[in-house]
Each structure stands twice: as structure tokens, then as C-alpha cells.
Structure 1
Amino acid sequence: MHVLLTRPLEDSIELIKKFKDKGFTVSHLPLIKIDKISHPKLNGSEYNNVVFTSSNAIRNLDIKHLDKKILCFCVGDATEKTAKQKGFHNTFSAGGNVRSLKELILQNLEKKTEKILYISGELVSYDLDKDLIKEGLNVQRLINYSVSHTKELNPDFLNELKKKIPDIIYIYSQNSAESFLNLIKKYKLHDYWMKTNLMCIGEKTSSVLNEIKWKKIFLFNPGEEEFLLYKI
């Protein structure tokens, strides 16, 4: 079984090891690059709650001015794990779904007047802050990273890829899907994937790659990568 993982290396290391331990061939092609955006110094005493929709939002934040005991709402388990590693104690995970994250926040806030710090990347697929504001919550969004697309493939990697096309590819975001589609078009790889299973987070992500012929397309949440292998 040949698996292609496409998240940045720091997000893929554990899964690479797990798959290699199972005897799989694992290739790694990060489809996006995370670039930090400078932000003003935070006054941590202003906020009663913090919301993260990705681990990158945590990694690119100067958190020393935030109280680690405030409620910390995370989109999924991987993000929650990163939050705990950074010292946050009172964490909640929405299981990988942003709309579920909204409901989780609404269910656990005692007062709508409590100030919420929502930290995210420059581009989001769902305007969580706007929806929470419509619910009467006091939300401040802080953008602390941007995403740039991978535009080139290493010639050696490309040659090896053509020799042994992956049985499974995991795509984790619309940005990643767009990067992958652009690379497929640039290197004329349209007809290589008919025996490959495409694993995508959400229908919006998979829809980007619908013009390519895949063996099958599966939807998944982060943390379900190993479980999906039993569906093939």
C-alpha cells in the first residue's frame, strides 16, 4: 500500500510513522506553506475565551500574554492536542467540524458578554466569527498566518511518483486541493489517478478535485486516517 500525505511535515510526522510501522510505503508532498503574519501584542486580560480553527493558528501565536486557564475551543482533536502542548488547560474539541465548533461555543458560554478571541488564518471556508456575532457574542478575530501554494515538484519526486502512483491520497483543505489540482495540470498528470482512492476533509475540498478520475472518493475528519484504510 502506497500512501501520499500532503500536510506540512510537522502535522504529518506521527501519521508517517504509524503508516510505516504498518509496512506501508509513505510519500510526503506538502501542498501548502504556512507563513506567519505579525500581529499586535495581546492584552490577555481582555479575553475570557479563545477559539482556534487550526493548529497553525496556535503555532503562530505569541501566547505568553494569554491566561492558559481560559476556555479554549478547538475545531478538532489535533488542534486540541497542540493547544494542550502549549499549556491550555480547559480545552474543548468539536471533532473536526467548524459548525459543530460554533454549537460547542454556544453551549458552553455562561455569558454572551464574555469577550472571545478567535484566531485563524487569512482564508477560511466558514465565517465562524460572523455567525457567532449574529448570535450576540462578542468576538474579535485575529489573523496570524497565511497560506501559499506549492507550485513546483522536485524532478526526482515527480519521476518516482509516476513510477509508483499512490493507492491513497489524503487532502486536508480546499487550499491543498487547489494546490494539488494546479500541480496535476502543470505536470499533465490528469490520467494517473484512476486506481487511487482520494481522501478529503469535507465536500468542498473534494469538489475541487472532481474533474480528476479517481477510483473512489471518501470524506473524513482528522484522526480517522487509519480507520479509512478498512473501507478500501
Structure 2
Amino acid sequence: MHILLTRPLEDCSEMIIKFQSLGHKVSHLPLLSIKKILHEKINLSEFKGIIFTSSNAVRFLNLNGLDKNIKCFCVGNATEKEARGQGFSNTIAAEGNVLNLKELILQNFDKTEGKLIYVSGENISVDLDNQLQNEGYDIKRLINYETVHNEKFDDDFINRLKLDMPDMVYVYSQNSASSLLKFIKLNQLEGLWMSTNLMCIGEKTSAKLNEIKWKKIFLFNPGEEEFLLYKI
């Protein structure tokens, strides 16, 4: 099976190796680049809990002054793995869904315990901090990275892709979906995806690619990628 992965290499290198070890052909089309944002200085010792909605948020955070034993809420297993690699020991992970993450926070962090800090990228699909504020939590959002659309791609890669279109393509965000649609139109690939299964996180992501004719569209949560191989 030919699989196309679209995340930055640091976010999908393990998956590439895993799929290749299972005998699949893997192509990599990084639609987005991640860049660190210099943010205001914050006294991290003031906070009693921390929230991460991506691995990048963990990677780009200066952890000086932060107690790594505090409750650490992660959106999914990959983010939790990154947090544990950075020394966090008291982690709680949702199943790749921000709304599930909110419920975990409500269940495991009483608003009287103290302040929360929510570390994220510039663009988010759910305003988790505002929702928690509405529940009475004292929470600060810290933006420490931005997502940039890649616009230049290797011509040889595009020509190889035209000759061997993937059986599956994984898309992880609305930003990625917009970038993929732009890539498809720019390279006149609109009519080549009818044998390709589109795997998207959420309906809003898949909706951005509805004008392309796909074999089938599947919705999934992070961590289910390998399981989806056996559904088609």
C-alpha cells in the first residue's frame, strides 16, 4: 500500500518507519513548517497545572522555573510522550480530541487548586482557554509557535506522485487541508485522487477537501493511523 503523510518530519518520522516496517511504501509531503515564537517572559512557578495541545507546544517551551511534577494535561499520546521526554511525570492524556481534554481537566483539576497555563500554537480549532474561563478557571494562554504553509515542493517528487498516486493520505488540521488543496490545484492534480482514501481529523478538516473526488473519506483520532490501514 502507498501511504502519503503530510505532517512535518519531526511529527511523523516514527510513523514513516513503522509503516515501512509493515511493508508499505511511504511518501512524505510536509505541507506545513513549524516556527518558534518569541513570547513574553512568564513566571512559570505561578502555575499549578499545564495544558499542551500539541507536541510542538512542548518542544518550544522554555521549562526553566516550571515544576515538572505539576499536573500536565496532553491532548493525545504523542503529546504526552513528548512531555514525558521533557521530564513531566504527572501527565494525563486525552484521545487526541480537545473536547475530551477539556473534560479530563474538569474531572482532574479543581479550579481552587490554582492557575493553569495553556501552551499552544497561534492557530487553534477550539478556544479551550475561553471555555475553561467560562467554567471559572484562572487560565493563561501562551502562544509559542506558528504554522507556516510550505509553497515550494520538489518537481521530481510531484512527477513521481503523478505516476503512483497514494492509496491513503493523512491530513491532521484545517491548515494542512487548505495547504493540500492549494498544492493539488497548483500542480493540476485535481482528477488523480479517485482511488485515494482521505484520512482526516474532524469534519471541518475534511470539508476543506470536499471539492476533490476521493475514493472514501475517513475521520480519525491521532493514534488510530495504523488501525485505519485495515479498514480499506
TM-score category, normalised to shorter length: over 0.9
Between the aligned partners of 2:19 and 2:99, the Cα distance in structure 1 is 30
Task: Report the Cα distance in structure 2 between the residues aligned to 1:112 and 1:186, rounded to whole angstroms.
Answer: 52
Report if aligned partners of 2:36, 2:144 keep a CA contact under 8 Å in 1.
yes
Residue 54 of structure 2 aligns with an amino acid whose one-letter code is: S
The alignment's TM-score, normalised by the length of structure 2, stands at 0.98
**Contact 2:111/2:136 (<8 A) preserved:** no
Residue 162 of structure 1: CA displacement? 0.4
**TM-fit CA distance, 1:188:** 1.1
- Of stretches 112-121 and 95-104 in structure 1, the one that deviates more from structure 2 is 112-121
The answer as to whether partners of 2:48 and 2:113 remain within 8 angstroms in 1 is no
Q: Give the corresponding residue for 2:36.
A: 36
* Corresponding position: 1:152 with 2:174: no
C-alpha RMSD of matched pairs (Å): 0.9
| Deviation by residue 1:152-204 (Cα, 9 ceiling, x = unmatched) | 22101101000100010000111111100011111111001000000011111
Deviation at residue 65 of structure 1 after TM alignment: 2.0
Distance 1:95 1:195 in 2: 29
TM-score, with structure 1 as normaliser: 0.98
* 1:195 matched residue in structure 2: 195
After TM superposition, give the deviation of residue 113 of structure 1 in Å: 5.5
User: Which letter does structure 1 place at the counterpart of 2:40?
Assistant: P
Measure the CA separation in 1 of the matches of 2:63 and 2:42: 8
Kindly provide the amino acid, as one letter, of the partner of residue 177 in structure 1.
A
Distance 1:108 1:198 in 2: 35
Correspondence for 1:224: 224
How many residues align? The count is: 232
Kept in 2, the 8 Å contact 1:123–1:146? The answer is yes
Sequence identity percentage: 61
| 8 A Cα contact 1:152 1:183, kept in partner | no
1:139 partner amino acid: I
Q: Summarize deviations over 1:25-44 as a string: whole Å, max 9, x none.
A: 11011110001100123312
In structure 1, runs of 5+ residues without a counterpart are none
Is 1:170 aligned with 2:170? yes
Residue 111 of structure 1 and its aligned partner are, at CA, apart by: 3.5
Note the 1:1-232 alignment, pairs <5 A.
Answer: 1-112=1-112, 114-232=114-232
